[in-house]
Structure 1
Amino acid sequence: MAKSTEENPNVAKWVHGTDLLSPENSKYNELNQAYYNLLVNSSFVINSVVSKARAISLINFNLCEDFKRKFPSVISGGNLEQNVQKFRSIFKSANWEIYSKGSNGIENKSTMRIWNQTAWVVPRENKTNKLAKLQDYTVNPVYIDGKGMVNLIVYTEQNDGTINSVLEISKPSIVYTATVPFAPIK
């Protein structure tokens, strides 16, 4: 649901830019509801008409909030920092993926990366002109930011100034595992 983290704590955004911006950058625009529907049901296209720019999409998966909603007794009562720290301590792994393709007038290429608190790392690329799954796996809680989110970016290379950069994405998802601490069985 666009503009509502009450119904779904995850957010998708887009921007045209030359640099890969941090997840907190205010230049990103959240998708409207029609674009969210395309992202989930078929595919969403970002067409960068800005000269020498990339088409960029940012996906914020709020794992801490998702877990808290499913298991409120495990993470409750603390402030955001305490809740995120608790979630990081029980986090075990995550698998993330998105389907994408991109072009910039010179080559076909889309790249997905994950935010590690200071930089975009772990590049995965599709160099074809067809939607392909980009995916990765981690056991490292460093990818969970101070808001409890795992942030993915998908982008094209910069365009040549005459032909637009075009990014097409579909079905971003993440599956994560956490150890739920139960009292010992007697």
Structure 2
Amino acid sequence: MNEISKYYRDPTHITEENWVEVIKISGTHKTLAAWIREKMYGIDVREALARLVEQMSSDLYDDRQIAIALDKLAKELQEKWDSDTQKIIDEWKNTIGGVTVDSELINSRIDLHGFVYKTLKERLDDMQSKIENLDATESVFKLTHNQNCYPTLRVFYSTYGAAVVPSETEPTGAGGSEVNYVHAEPIYHDLDSLTVKVPFKYKMVNPTIERISENQYLLVEDIRTLLVEIGSKSEANVETTMEFTSTLDYKNKVAKSTVENPSIFYFGAGGWTELKKPGDPSWGEFIARHIDEIKSEDNNNFEMLRYDKNVIPQVLLKFNILEDFKRKFPFLFNGLSATESIIKIKKMTSKAGTEMFAKGSNATGNRVTMSAFANNNYDLLAAHASSDIKKLSFQHNAFMDAYLDTIGNVNLLLNAEASDGKTASSLYINYAKLKYFTTVPFAPIK
């Protein structure tokens, strides 16, 4: 039998229902199918079959183009999705980080130039930094200039070294950083005195101060330098004075050294059943860890416990006023003895005072006492009976006259009440400082 003819031996007609869903057949394909079924002549049937093949090829081509386009679109959408998703994730993180709760706050992270900060805090910090560079809020000192006018004020800042020196034009560098102009503000009290105010960034707490030309004053604190220029040099070669506030505490203090900070924090050996005087040989200097505990207002507190009966927890804080004056105003004490220097300090100091943050307790309750040594005894300055660490403060115009000793120290004592031998008596200290207010005379520049 012919191999081909075996396929044409079924005489029955196709009677099964057409399983193709007619609704899915395009009009073109329906026409071609009808032609194949109904045309009388073979040439028309063959033409219909040929067109069907061509149509199928055309359809496949279109399908391939659509598939390619869809693949490209899918990749583009994926990339955009990834990008948008990351933006949403970043914004959500920034929103959480900035405690942002609505779109208005989110928009507030965008500045006028369109720069977007990651968090609202970041933008506020940047704004605050710029404001602090411009808004003069901190007083540096009050100056009597004797120029009989409202003189102009210029202030320049640099770091490291002697950074600024007087010149006929502008301050120049002297081995330090670049010199920057500071947006300072003069507060005129009258025609012969003013207060110099600078932005917070340039605030100085305990600078050394020197008059370096007729109308220029150099302030140095650690690596930071301010040059203050008042008015005209030609009119300023007269005696001037400066009102200045100095704060002594235990910042930068190194145990067993008075180079970095001349003040000392003392404890006593053995059982203390009475208040020990500054010259008692049982006093010893606290180690670095204890000094760190009282040098700033934080949660790190100094603690002293005493269990023996009648023993009093007590510490001595020795503030070296004479050395502080000499370091800040060395020109004032040239050729003077210690006695003469102390007399001069007392004359220049208008008032002084101290602040301590402390608490004390024993078996009977809470009490902490702050005293100052004078005339071979302790004068009670302040006390409180709180169970919390709170401020003890005292200030007086005659403070230096009363409490500056013959070698230039102010000796302050903090103590709790004595132990009963059963329950510990405790003394806690958070921060301690002494502040004095002085008027410093500057001699005319020769």
Structure 2 distance, partners of 1:118, 1:164, is: 29
Determine whether 1:10 maps to 2:263: yes
User: Does the C-alpha gap of structure 1 residues 71 and 103 become closer, same or farther in structure 2, counting only changes over 3 Å?
Assistant: same
Matched AA of 2:284:
N
Matched AA of 2:266:
K
Matched AA of 2:414:
V
In the TM superposition, residue 155 of structure 1 has moved relative to its aligned partner by: 0.3
Partner of 2:395: 137
User: Does the C-alpha gap of structure 1 residues 9 and 122 become closer, same or farther in structure 2, counting only changes over 3 Å?
Assistant: same
The structure with the larger Rg is 2
Structure 2 distance, partners of 1:170, 1:147, is: 28
| Conservation of the 8 A alpha-carbon contact between 2:262 and 2:319 | yes
Q: Tell me the SS of whatever aligns to 1:84.
A: helix
| Conservation of the 8 A alpha-carbon contact between 1:156 and 1:166 | yes
Determine whether 1:179 maps to 2:179: no
Partner of 2:285: 30
Q: Tell me the SS of whatever aligns to 2:308.
A: coil
Structure 1 distance, partners of 2:396, 2:410, is: 11
In the TM superposition, residue 152 of structure 1 has moved relative to its aligned partner by: 0.8
Query: Of residues 340, 343, 348 in structure 2, which corresponds to 1:90?
Result: 348
Matched AA of 1:103:
S
RMSD: 1.7
Partner of 2:409: 149
Partner of 1:55: 313
Matched AA of 1:124:
A
Matches within 5 A, 1:70-149: 70-140=328-398, 141-149=401-409
What stretches of structure 1 move > 4 A for 4+ residues in a row?
none
Partner of 1:165: 425
How many residue pairs match? The answer is 185
Q: Tell me the SS of whatever aligns to 1:89.
A: helix
Structure 1 unpaired stretches of 5+: none
Q: C-alpha offsets along residues 64-97 of structure 1, whole Å, 9 cap, x if unaligned?
A: 1101100000123333223222222222211201
Q: Tell me the SS of whatever aligns to 1:17.
A: coil
In the TM superposition, residue 184 of structure 1 has moved relative to its aligned partner by: 6.5
Structure 1 distance, partners of 2:433, 2:292, is: 14
Normalization by structure 2: what TM-score?
0.40
Structure 1 distance, partners of 2:280, 2:409, is: 15
User: Does the C-alpha gap of structure 1 residues 49 and 29 become closer, same or farther in structure 2, counting only changes over 3 Å?
Assistant: farther
Query: Of residues 276, 282, 296 in structure 2, which corresponds to 1:21?
Result: 276
In the TM superposition, residue 63 of structure 1 has moved relative to its aligned partner by: 1.1
Matched AA of 2:441:
P
Higher mean alpha-carbon deviation, 119-128 vs 144-153, is at 119-128
| Conservation of the 8 A alpha-carbon contact between 1:44 and 1:168 | yes
Q: Tell me the SS of whatever aligns to 1:69.
A: helix
Structure 1 distance, partners of 2:443, 2:337, is: 23
| Conservation of the 8 A alpha-carbon contact between 2:308 and 2:420 | no
Q: Tell me the SS of whatever aligns to 2:290.
A: helix
Structure 2 distance, partners of 1:28, 1:50, is: 18
| Conservation of the 8 A alpha-carbon contact between 1:158 and 1:165 | yes
| Conservation of the 8 A alpha-carbon contact between 2:381 and 2:394 | no
Higher helix share: 2
Structure 1 distance, partners of 2:376, 2:444, is: 39
The answer to which structure, 1 or 2, has the higher relative contact order (CA under 8 A, 6+ apart) is 1
Higher strand share: 1
Structure 2 unpaired stretches of 5+: 1-253
